[in-house]
Amino acid sequence: MLVEREQDVLRAASMYYLQDLKMEVIARHLGTSRSTVSRLLRHARDTGLVEITLRPSSTRAPGLGRSISSTFGIDTYVVPVPDSAGSVERLDQVAMTAARLIGSWFDSDMVMGVAWGTTIAAVSRYLAPKPTRGSAVVQLNGAANMRTSGVEYAADLISSFGSAFDAAVHHFSVPAFFDYPDTKDAMWRERSVRRVLDMQRRADLAVFSVGAVAGAVPSHVYSAGYLDESDVRRLHDDGVVGDVCTVFLRADGSWADVSLNGRATGPTPAQLERVPRRVCVVAGDNKVAPLLAALRARVVTDLVVDEVTATALVEVVGTRTSARPR
């Protein structure tokens, strides 16, 4: 029965994508309904039997990708979008591409670390089911804040990654930021916390975005009660342009002496560097400065970015980038 279904999927996909037949015609050929043909085609896309790639004739994506890759020594996936595309469309296109790539990279007996945020939440909605064995998904940064727990938001996001891959899920039940560095030091000695930290250290793959301090739409960490006014002023005084996994970065990629990082629960750039594959997913005009900071901090091995943001990044970098050699 399973073999017969797979044959139907192949036949439907071949007739639709290669022979350009309409669904009604395919349904008559297969002796089934139009809705069943639609489900067969969806299955073909979800399982990777069919991969759809858009290649607009005017896209600058290949050249932008090569430029970013050669400058920073990373793999870059620039998603073609029209210059007129709105922020929602750009995010959706990038999220779809990132979800497909993550699905191709993550497999059985692997550990994936995931940082919460608006961009990664969008990625989670496009993950195609891919059953794995012995795999795990671990939350990279705490989520509780001053206004709400934040835990439910992060838990749902992390759980959606686990569900997509039939992976065990490890939540990180600590605040996004402690009030005092000493409190963090004490919590890091607790066995329940150390268990999650150990799982993070075992990660084969990390998935995250960059948070932007400035811009018309501040990132979730700056708009959802994670920081008070004095914290924001301190970030401004420290020259912070954004964050990765709620660890704050200056424009040059430095982070070690940013005072709030002593209270942050996310992995530092030095800790992230130990993860073999580090996937950064970015879309949005206000993400250029924090993205450049993340690249300079060497936390990225694979970048998925929309064409408009990539263009702005290349223009900012020019020929005078101060990225550290890899």
Euclidean distance between CA atoms 210 and 53, whole angstroms: 26
CA 273 to chain centre: 16
The pLDDT value recorded for residue 3 is 60
Nearest to 101 by CA among 81, 80, 78: 78
pTM for the model stands at 0.79
Nearest to 280 by CA among 204, 211, 197, 198: 211
**Helix, strand and coil in the chain, % to nearest 5:** 45, 15, 40
Cβ-based neighbour number of residue 254 at 10 Å: 17
Nearest to 266 by CA among 192, 206, 182, 189: 206
| Residues of the chain under the 70 pLDDT cut | 1-3, 18-19, 52-59, 144-152, 214-225, 319-326
| DSSP states of 66-117 | HHHHHHHTSEEEEEP--TT--HHHHHHHHHHHHHHHHHHH--TT-EEEE--S
Nearest to 248 by CA among 191, 143, 180, 176: 176
The pLDDT value recorded for residue 304 is 97
The pLDDT value recorded for residue 322 is 45
Cβ-based neighbour number of residue 300 at 10 Å: 26
The pLDDT value recorded for residue 229 is 81
Q: Which residues pair with 250 in a beta bridge?
A: 240
The pLDDT value recorded for residue 220 is 61
The pLDDT value recorded for residue 324 is 45
The pLDDT value recorded for residue 181 is 94
What radius of gyration do the chain's Cα atoms show?
21
The pLDDT value recorded for residue 227 is 77
